Amino acid sequence: MNDPILIAGGGIGGLAAALALAAKGFPVVVLEKAAELGEIGAGIQLGPNAFHCFDTLGVGDTARAMAVYVDRLRLMDAMAGEEICQIDLGEAFRRRFRNPYAVIHRGDLHGVLLRGCRDNPLIGLRTSSEVLGYTQDAQAVTARLANGETLRGRLLIGADGLWSKVRRQVVGDTPPRVSGHTTYRSVIPVEQMPEDLRWNAATLWAGPKCHIVHYPLSGWKLFNLVVTYHNNAPEPVAGQPVTHAEVLRGFTHIHPKAQQIIHIGRDWKLWVLCDRDPVENWVDGRVALLGDAAHPTLQYMAQGACMAMEDAVCLAHVLDQHGGEHVGGLEAYRRQRVLRTARVVLQSRAIGDHVYHPEGVHAQLRNAIMAGKSQQDWYDTLQWLYGSNGLDGSAAT
Ligand SMILES: Cc1cc2nc3c(=O)[nH]c(=O)nc-3n(C[C@H](O)[C@H](O)[C@H](O)COP(=O)(O)OP(=O)(O)OC[C@H]3O[C@@H](n4cnc5c(N)ncnc54)[C@H](O)[C@@H]3O)c2cc1C
């Protein structure tokens, strides 16, 4: 059958899936709702598992050239203004996990994947093509677009994000779970970052019901600021501009050294974070889910996009192994991905409660446990996540 594989969504997951599938010889058409393909102007952290994926996708060198290589993950106590612990990302880390840890501008990451797609004759990219739903029979799946058009494919991959329309039909579940955590993002020129905070680190300041993350971006020209306040916000929000005073409201109780980060941020935008309880029915005949459409997560393990890329690599690998045959291939993909991604979703929630936002004795206990770990302990803790290339389905160690 010559019908292409249809992919709903041209985000990081959808483009990675297009590259991975085309690399196995499958023709692909990406259907993106927006009028232009792109990403928001903020940063993203990439574990070594993301770099394993880049290599499989054939964009390893270009992605490496865009990244900033932070030399540690640093956990700070936002009340005391002091370091709790750090994870060294140097030689020993890279040797153990066979790749580095890095941070990158989302636009650069998306651009790397997009260029790879544009250069591949097996990949078609369509914008202003919102997928509303699908029908299928023994021969093919037909995607229904918002403009009334229908498109026939051998498979349909729903990579259409948190509010996925494909998922609505595959899983038929309720809307995403609103976490009540409000995140504010800002990107500033490096010279506006106080000199004593210009650390070559992905830094997390953890305080009661709030935390702050910052790291350098784009060849050290920018700093990415992401600050989160657990204020029980009831409704999902995405990318809404907010005033400096509103951001500050959640951080008045923390140490001045941490609080100054709120003051230096500019043009803050707000998101109310959502995730979903893990489910296992990601597949309906010729249709499967991928990335946030399948397993949206809070960002506290910095793994949502990494998992989407792992999904892409795994999907292409197992479909190839099954000769493109959909029933066995999609089911094998689902089996390999469900537990690993569920662990990321559930562990991200737990980290929010026990590491990012506790107070009082709970926070003291966090500090005692985290400070007591050796570098070897940290590397062992992270083995299941960073040691895998997404193909072995590793969810335990
Ligand atoms: C504050 C924050 C920080 C984060 N930090 C990190 C991090 O450091 N590291 C990390 O790995 N992850 C991080 N993540 C998670 C990461 O951003 C997401 O998991 C990842 O972008 C998901 O990619 P995706 O392609 O699955 O979905 P999306 O990025 O949501 O892409 C979906 C695409 O589908 C399109 N679309 C939507 N509906 C339709 C439709 N019906 N038809 C066609 N197209 C459609 C959309 O326009 C979009 O282009 C973070 C998330 C947040 C909120």
How far apart are alpha carbons 191 and 221 in whole angstroms? 8
The Cα angle at residue 390 between residues 354 and 5, in degrees rounded to 5 = 120
Q: Look-up: residue for tokens 């989407």?
A: 308
Per-residue pLDDT tens for 308-366?
Answer: 999 999 999 999 999 878 889 999 999 999 999 999 999 999 999 999 999 999 999 99
Asked which of 27-36, 257-266, 383-392 is least confident by mean pLDDT, the reply is: 383-392
Per-residue pLDDT tens for 152-209?
Answer: 999 999 999 999 999 999 999 899 999 999 999 999 999 999 999 999 999 999 999 9
Q: Which two tokens stand for residue 297?
A: 């997560």
Per-residue pLDDT tens for 89-146?
Answer: 999 999 999 999 999 999 999 999 999 999 999 999 999 999 999 999 999 999 999 9
pLDDT at 389 over 80: no
CB-ligand 1 contact for 43 (6 Å cutoff) = no
How far apart are alpha carbons 349 and 339 in whole angstroms? 15
Per-residue pLDDT tens for 256-314?
Answer: 999 999 999 999 999 999 999 999 999 999 999 999 999 999 999 999 999 999 999 99
Confidence of residue 30 (pLDDT cuts 50, 70, 90): very high
Q: Considering only CA atoms, which residue is closest to atom 24 of ligand 1?
A: 13
CB-ligand 1 contact for 176 (6 Å cutoff) = no
Q: Look-up: residue for tokens 């990451």?
A: 109
Confidence of residue 1 (pLDDT cuts 50, 70, 90): low
Confidence of residue 39 (pLDDT cuts 50, 70, 90): confident
Q: Which two tokens stand for residue 22?
A: 């085309």
Q: Look-up: residue for tokens 């020993």?
A: 92
Sequence-ordered strand ranges (E) for the chain: 5-8, 28-31, 43-46, 72-77, 82-88, 102-105, 123-126, 131-136, 141-145, 150-153, 155-158, 177-189, 201-207, 210-217, 222-230, 237-241, 269-275, 283-284, 287-289
With 0-12 CB in 10 A as exposed, 13-18 as middle and 19+ as buried, what is 194? exposed
All domains of the chain, ordered by start, with CATH?
5-175+276-386 (3.50.50.60)
- Provide, rounded to the nearest whole percent, the portion of the chain with pLDDT above 90: 94
Q: Considering only CA atoms, which residue is closest to atom 21 of ligand 1?
A: 305
Q: Which of 165, 299, 337 is the best mutation target for the ligand 1 pocket, counting ligand atoms within 8 Å of the beta carbon and taking the most?
A: 299
Asked which of 80-84, 293-297, 338-342, 384-388 is least confident by mean pLDDT, the reply is: 384-388
Cα-to-centroid distance, 64 and ligand 1 (Å): 21
pLDDT at 388 over 90: no
Q: Which of 32, 204, 310 is the best mutation target for the ligand 1 pocket, counting ligand atoms within 8 Å of the beta carbon and taking the most?
A: 32
CB-ligand 1 contact for 167 (6 Å cutoff) = no
Single-letter amino acid code for the residue at 388: S
pLDDT, position 326: 87
CB-ligand 1 contact for 355 (6 Å cutoff) = no
Confidence of residue 32 (pLDDT cuts 50, 70, 90): very high
